[in-house]
Amino acid sequence: MLELDREKLPNHLAIIMDGNGRWAQERMLKRIIGHQKGVETVRSIVEESSLIGIRYLTLFAFSAENWLRPRSEVKSLMALLKKYIAMETPRLMKNNIRFNVIGDLRELPADVGDAVQSAAARTAENTGMVLTLALSYGSRQEILTAVKRLAEDIAAGRISSETVDEKIFTTYLYTYGLPDPDFLIRTSGEMRISNFLLWQLAYAELYFTEVNWPDFGKDEFYKALGSFQARERRYGLTSGQLRNRS
Ligand code: IPE
Ligand code: IPE
Ligand code: MG
């Protein structure tokens, strides 16, 4: 396993957990079996991330567009989510992890919404890693909702349009309070963002692996983190400027 530099870990790691369905189909299994295996990967990556000292982990679990999947798959996914959240809460408590969620929660079935709220409330005082699940999440929808709320505040005179800057705008996003992700991992070989954190990923390092999410083990995780550590993040500057700064 690769040696990691603990000083150079991403502060906020975001993951698009993709390839559960294909993992199952390649084995002549039902797609939901792939989702069940995917939950095991979630468990191990959450634990490992918290152990090595990642501060924020955000997992794309269900997109706004995923509602359009076959009804039976959506139903199974919702049932699995509810079970995962209820089962994991004691482990989150043990590991001092704070549970958080982003997305249009009004769309969730009431029992899943309740499970989410209760896990967030129970873990609210935890001071370790912040685990955020993106559920019923779409980034364009998030940005539009933010713009509408901001427009209402401007119209009502609560804020003046001249003062609106990036910092103020981000307070209207679901992710308010979370720093921007430094590193994005997507599994299963797809090289796209699929409407995930479009604003927040502006300067994230991107990493794509062919491995499907149920097979994304510790070795693969360390390989991804090793890739992050080898990169130079220039934010528009030159390498020379960066060297002079440090
Ligand atoms: C990711 O796996 C999980 C969700 C989107 C809910 P997929 O279900 O997208 O798996 P593939 O991409 O079809 O293999
Ligand atoms: C993105 O995966 C959403 C999640 C991982 C929850 P999808 O499988 O839905 O994305 P597309 O359809 O391949 O872009
Ligand atoms: Mg997919």
Provide the whole-model pTM. Answer: 0.97
Residue 191's closest CA among 19, 55, 4, 10? 19
CB atoms within 10 A of CB 220: 17
What is the spatial distance between Cα 186 and Cα 193, in angstroms, rounded to a whole number?
8
Task: Select from 20, 63, 73 the residue to mutate for testing ligand 2; criterion: most ligand atoms less than 8 Å from CB.
Answer: 63
User: Looking at residue 214, what is its pLDDT?
Assistant: 98
> Which class does domain 6-136+181-245 fall in?
alpha beta
Is residue 2 within 8 A of residue 226, CB to CB? The reply is yes
From CA 97, how far away is CA 121, in angstroms rounded?
A: 12
Residue 148 near ligand 2, beta carbon < 6 Å: no
Contact, 23 vs 40, CB < 8 A?
no
Measured in angstroms, how far is the CA atom of residue 58 from the centroid of ligand 2? 15
Catalytic annotation, residues? 18, 66
pLDDT of residue 199: 98
CA distance 98 to 133: 11
For the chain, domain boundaries: 6-136+181-245
- Nearest-atom number in ligand 2 for the CA of 16 is 5
From the list 158, 157, 176, the residue with the least C-alpha distance to 166 is 176
Q: Phi and psi (nearest 5°) for 73?
A: -70, -40
Which residues have CB under 6 Å of ligand 1? 17-22, 62, 66, 77, 188
pLDDT at 200: 98
Per-residue pLDDT of the chain (246 residues; tens, 9 = 90+): 567 888 899 999 999 999 999 999 999 999 999 999 999 999 999 999 999 999 999 999 999 999 999 999 999 999 999 999 999 999 999 999 999 999 999 999 999 999 999 999 999 999 999 999 999 999 999 999 999 999 999 999 999 999 999 999 999 999 999 999 999 999 999 999 999 999 999 999 999 999 999 999 999 999 999 999 999 989 999 999 999 987
Q: Whose CA is nearest to atom 1 of ligand 1?
A: 18
